[in-house]
């Protein structure tokens, strides 16, 4: 049973930083792709970033490229999302997601992900 538990959300002023964590358990994740999505009130869930666990290759949404960094810690089975230069429009619930991807694919479509965490709220004040 895959479990994903997010933490690290909170309230921050515009221009500030936060680091989100996603603790993963229940599998050996070396053949998984991990991702972060976000959902603002009244909006659809939006792709943020993804990483291939085995080789660290990444992909980012245009809106966060250059400000956010996704990474993973193999020893801790944890995926991180470092968010810098935060903007009010980054306010959302952030979700961690995982999918089995033995060929090392990077997916931006939420429908490709089979496992989800409960989400963590990020609020950026202006």
Instruction: Provide the pLDDT confidence category of residue 13 given band limits of 50, 70 and 90.
Output: very high
Return the pLDDT at 26. Answer: 94
Distance of CA 22 to the CA centre of its chain: 8
Instruction: Give residue-wise pLDDT tens across range 68-100.
Output: 999 999 899 999 999 999 999 999 999 999 999
- Asked if 93 and 48 touch (Cβ cutoff 8 Å), the reply is no
> Rounded to an integer, what distance in angstroms lies between the CA atom of residue 57 and that of residue 3?
22
Give 59's strand partners: 50
> Rounded to an integer, what distance in angstroms lies between the CA atom of residue 83 and that of residue 10?
12
The length of the chain is 126
């Amino acid at each position: 049973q895959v479990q994903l538990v997010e933490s690290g959300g909170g309230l921050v002023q515009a221009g500030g930083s936060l680091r989100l964590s996603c603790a993963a358990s229940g599998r050996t994740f070396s053949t998984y792709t991990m991702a972060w999505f976000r959902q603002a009130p009244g909006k659809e869930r939006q792709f943020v970033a993804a990483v291939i666990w085995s080789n660290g290759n990444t992909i980012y949404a245009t809106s966060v490229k250059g400000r956010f960094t996704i990474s993973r810690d193999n020893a801790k089975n944890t995926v991180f999302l470092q968010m810098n230069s935060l903007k009010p429009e980054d306010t959302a619930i952030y979700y961690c997601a995982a999918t089995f991807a033995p060929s090392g694919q990077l997916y931006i479509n939420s429908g490709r992900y089979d496992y989800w965490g409960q989400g963590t709220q990020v609020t950026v004040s202006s």
